Amino acid sequence: MKEDIIKMEHGAGGELMEGLINSSILDNLRNNSAGGIGLEELDDGGTIPLGDRHLVFTTDSHVVKPLFFPGGNIGKLAVSGTINDLSVMGAKPLALTCSLVIEEGFSVEKLDEIISSMNEVSENSDVPIITGDTKVLAKEELDDVVINTAGIGITKQPISDCNLKEGDKLVLNGSIGDHGLSIMSFREGFTFESNLESDVQPLNKLIRECLDTGGVRAMKDPTRGGLANTLNEMASKSDKGILIEEEKIPINKGVRSAGDILGIDPLEVANEGKVVMVIENGFEDEIIEIMNNYCSNNCEPAVIGEVIDEEKGNVVLKTEVGGKRYVEAPVGDPVPRVC
């Protein structure tokens, strides 16, 4: 049944957002493919066949609150997130667009800082921002700033998030939950034993080196809905089971403490500098070595599980005490407005 009104949870990843997309968007927007991966596949982007290559296109709007947070700001988040969405589809990012919607009365000094952060990520990633748009709304018609970034990339072979095979290993490039819980803690004024900081960063160079090494079957960046939602999407789309081990999932001490105190499962919290790779058995050690070379913040690369032929469409967690439980897709990310 359709909801009568839009709720915050409809934009937070998870089951409610999936339901909204299926009922209100896909049911009404049927011209949604250009001959490659289209909107119905609900991947991190769409593809357009172009001779022996494929153009990969993606877009994202960013509404994070607060705009400035430990480890980054909305500008760094916007550019990094769009670069990562292109990269996990196997594409070399070529260029980005940037559209700004700004509230009347917003500080020009703050805007300069945001744009400077975007430029820094753009330069360090070798992905230029080549066009954009700016709109201003009257005061109180908008909450500070909304940034939309779109990106285009190119690849010989797009990588889908559903190409899983039994025996493949799941590799994660670092600890989970840092982005969402650091923003929530900062926003609400909570303090914990260790300072929490967002993991926001572009991953295109790491991913490119992994692709050049070989063995990468599928990838996805676990943003809204966190690792739990990402793995459920991959299992469901591929009709395979996923078995992960609790003790192998890297979670830093501060995130674990914050999650316990706030009653939030780090598996369900957004990340902005992490990638889950499904790796052909035998390549995982080389991929871990590459990930270690790109370690910056909260980096603990690990093989966290494998693809199984049982439990089709489900994600199963082997607990630290030896039991097993299902990891369900969250209704929505428990921390709103983090991306």
The domain that contains 297 carries what CATH number?
A: 3.90.650.10
**If you compute the radius of gyration of the chain from its CA atoms, what whole number of angstroms results?**
19
The per-residue pLDDT for 194 is 67
Same domain, 259 and 296: yes
144 in a domain, yes or no?
Answer: yes
Same domain, 243 and 273: yes
The per-residue pLDDT for 46 is 96
Q: Of the candidates 123, 155, 187, which is a domain's last residue?
A: 155
Least confident of 20-24, 98-102, 111-115, 267-271: 20-24
11 in a domain, yes or no?
Answer: no
293 in a domain, yes or no?
Answer: yes
150 in a domain, yes or no?
Answer: yes
Q: What angle do CA 294, 176, 154 make, to 5 degrees?
A: 55
Taking residues 102-111, report their average pLDDT: 98
- Residue 42, domain CATH: 3.30.1330.10
User: Using CA atoms, how far apart are residues 301 and 336, in angstroms rounded to an integer?
Assistant: 27
**Per-residue pLDDT for 1 more than 80?**
no
Taking residues 110-124, report their average pLDDT: 98
In DSSP terms, 98 is beta-bridged to 132, 149
164 in a domain, yes or no?
Answer: no
Same domain, 148 and 212: no
In DSSP terms, 228 is beta-bridged to none
Annotate 169-195 with b (16+ C-beta within 10 A) or e (fewer).
Answer: bbbbbbbbbbbbbbbbbbbeeeebeee
**Interval 7-37: pLDDT, tens:** 888 887 788 888 888 889 889 999 999 999 9
Q: Of the candidates 96, 124, 155, which is a domain's last residue?
A: 155
Same domain, 173 and 318: yes
Taking residues 69-87, report their average pLDDT: 97
Higher-pLDDT residue of 190, 52: 52
6 in a domain, yes or no?
Answer: no
Question: Considering only CA atoms, which of 44, 41, 8, 101 is closest in space to residue 275?
Answer: 44
Domain count for the chain, please give it.
Answer: 2
Annotate 131-165 with b (16+ C-beta within 10 A) or e (fewer).
Answer: eeeeeeeeeeebebbbbbbbbbbbbeebbbbbbbe
DSSP assignment of 16-84: HHHHHIIIIIITT-----SSSS-GGG--SSEEEEETTEEEEEEEEEE--SSSEETTEEHHHHHHHHHHH
Same domain, 199 and 314: yes
The per-residue pLDDT for 334 is 84
118 in a domain, yes or no?
Answer: yes
- What three-state secondary structure class fits 338? coil
The per-residue pLDDT for 193 is 60
Percent of residues, the chain, with pLDDT higher than 70: 97
Same domain, 224 and 92: no
Residue 192 pLDDT level (bands cut at 50, 70, 90):
low
Same domain, 180 and 317: yes
Q: Which domain holds residue 250?
A: 169-326
pTM: predicted TM-score of the whole model, two decimal places:
0.95
Token pair in block for residue 54: 């494929």
Count other Cβ atoms within 10 Å, centred on residue 300.
17
User: Using CA atoms, how far apart are residues 208 and 154, in angstroms rounded to an integer?
Assistant: 12
